[in-house]
Amino acid sequence: MDTDTTTSSEALRAEMVAKVRKVGYARRSEVQQVLLNTPRHEFVPDADLAAAHNPWQAVITHRFSDGRSLSCASAPFVVAMMLDQLHVQPGDRILEIGAGTGYNASLLTQLAGRADLVTTVDIDPDVTEQATRALTAAGYDDVHVVIGDGALGYAADAPYDRLIATVSPWDIPAEWWNQLADGARLVAPLRWRGQARSVGFTYTNGKLISDSIELCGFVYLVTEDEGELSGPITADETVKLHWDRDQAINVDALRGVLDQPRTTAWSGITIAGDEPHDGIWLRLTVTDQRVCRIDAHSDVPSELCDPVQAFRSPALVDGKSLAYLTSRRQENGDEVRWELGAIGHGPAAAELVEHLCDEIRAWAPEKDQHKPTLTVHPAGTPDSEFDGAAIDKTHSRFVLTYDA
């Protein structure tokens, strides 16, 4: 590599890390250092330097035959966020689910202090071949790169002090539970009630207890027993709902509901255009078992369906009725803000929209500063052992609670 390219990449890495830290990630000094030390562009050779170091951009490196992305280098801010959550210590034995480009494994190696402590698993041999090639070129050929089903973990190198998934599981597979050392940390972009969050857990006394929950989105874990269901509520299938299989949602009963009269309510709560509102959805997963996701194709007119974000917004479903989060623009001189509210259809629309506005108002005082705790118990754990309603998965039970 010529000197100009080296200098340019170092400057771009420094700028990348500075921007990531400005938004609150790479808080741990060791995470900041490995991001600065590692030539990210060498793990994504088909991307130009600017794209490789864009802090907000994932670089897709492998696709399914239908064009969907199968593997990518996660955006640097997401990498930093999850490494902050993982809290790697020197000497930790680490399992990574989803090999990607090998970039994350190289960072994990530096944090752990030895390449032979890191095992990375991916189901696609093309992905593992690429990761192996990049890791070897970077001097990390002792990383154990395994072709296999990530849902099965990798028992041969267990137990692990740290487990990180860079693909999104709907559940925590039983094999992951069995391969964790007591006191281990697990970080995974989990999905429940239609939304995805990177959750950092500590494994103790046979259960996983969260201490951080961050918004994220990832390629789904392949081969997992998938428990998220979906179905259209319009004849042309341009508006769909997505829900978990433990929810009593009958999508057939909701087809055509958007053609019924619209009921709208406004909360009085406003946010700036760049201010997040996903905390409302997270709160609803604690307080209301009816919450799911609505998505509308970009061509759907707002007169028919007008969610706050077309492709992913929280909705409440009750029998033949639904309500979803919406917003409207408000101007005060040069200031533009957005008022949050709810739109509902069906016989229970009035109750649903008022309830959703109440939840918006309850979220507003602290917004995203007060996040719940997610405790994950093994499947079969009786209700008597925890407070709150459980979200039942195949291998586990998710229980979300707010501290008193």
Alpha carbon dihedral 346, 227, 215, 94, in 10-degree steps, equals: 170
The DSSP annotation for 111-174 comes to: HHS-GGGEEEEES-HHHHHHHHHHHHHTT-TTSEEEES-GGG--GGG--EEEEEESSB-SS--H
Respond yes or no on whether the N-terminal peptide bond of residue 159 is cis (omega within 30° of 0).
yes
Distance CA 128, CA 148 (A): 10
Q: How many whole angstroms separate alpha carbon 299 and alpha carbon 87?
A: 43
User: Around Cβ 331, how many Cβ atoms within 10 Å?
Assistant: 8
CA distance 53 to 163: 26
Any catalytic annotation for residue 198? Answer: no
Catalytic residue among 71, 168, 267, 321: 71
386: amino acid identity, one letter: F
State the Cα–Cα distance between residues 257 and 252, nearest whole angstrom. 10
d(CA 321, CA 339): 23
Hunting for tokens 């599981």 — which residue is that? 169
Active site residues: 71
